[in-house]
């Protein structure tokens, strides 16, 4: 499938030459979300595995469409040297983050709500709801690696680091 070309946004960031800040990424995902004719025909759901499609990419920004059936999730992860923002366009998603003490906290993002992920921040996104969910994600610069974490009594520990150009890998099965 060819990437969907986004020709212009009011932020002007598609043709930018530097890493975009979180407010610009948030504005971009909201603008893409509002242009349903561009992404709605691409929506697919896949039982057992999340589905995603790249909508646009250049050297400075990467925009993705992700779908989530109930119980589908990522793992706790960061986006390497990339900042990110995502907005929910259907359903609801839970975003889980460690707080300053290392405890995991959760917030529900419903349609129109946007999450922001600064470089180095760790989070997990999951659909803990009965209805399917759809979200638009943007990263700047493009993702080149992601680190995944385990949460334990002493906080976070690194599980692995993957070199990737996709927004998120599928979660590993639970380990005993």
Three-state SS across the chain? CCCCCCCCCCCCHHHCCCCCCHHHHHHHHHHHHHCHHHHHHHCCCCCCCCEEEEEEECCCCEEEEEEECCCCECCCECCCCCEEEEEEEECEEEEEEECCCCCEEEEEEECCCEEEECCCCCEEEECCCCCCEEEEEEEECCCCEEEEEEEECCEEEEEEEEECCCCCCCCCCCCC
- CATH classification of 18-163 is 2.60.120.10, yes or no? yes
Please state the residue numbers annotated as binding site: 77, 79, 123
Over 50: is that where the pLDDT of 16 sits?
no
Please state the residue numbers annotated as binding site for Fe cation: 77, 79, 123
Q: What value does the mean pLDDT of the chain take? A: 85
- Decide which of 167 and 90 is more confident: 90
Residue-wise pLDDT for 39-89, tens only, equals 999 999 999 888 999 999 988 899 999 999 999 999 999 999 999 999 999
pLDDT bin (cut points 50, 70, 90) of residue 20 is low
pLDDT confidence of residue 108: 98
pLDDT bin (cut points 50, 70, 90) of residue 161 is very high
């Amino acid at each position: 499938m060819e990437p969907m070309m986004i020709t212009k946004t009011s932020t002007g960031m598609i043709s930018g030459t530097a890493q975009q800040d979180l407010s610009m990424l948030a504005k971009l995902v909201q603008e893409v979300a509002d242009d349903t004719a561009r992404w709605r025909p691409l929506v697919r759901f896949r039982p057992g595995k999340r589905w995603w499609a790249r909508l646009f990419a250049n050297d400075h920004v990467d925009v993705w469409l992700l779908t989530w059936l109930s119980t589908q999730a990522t793992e706790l992860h960061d986006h390497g040297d990339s900042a990110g923002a995502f907005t929910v366009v259907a359903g609801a998603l839970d975003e889980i983050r460690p707080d300053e003490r290392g405890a995991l906290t959760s917030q529900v993002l419903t349609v129109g709500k946007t999450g922001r992920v600064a470089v180095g921040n760790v989070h997990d996104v999951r659909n803990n709801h009965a209805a399917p969910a759809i979200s638009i994600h943007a990263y700047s610069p493009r993702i080149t690696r992601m680190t995944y974490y385990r949460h334990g009594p002493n906080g976070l520990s690194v599980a692995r680091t993957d070199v990737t150009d996709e927004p998120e890998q599928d979660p590993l099965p639970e380990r005993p």
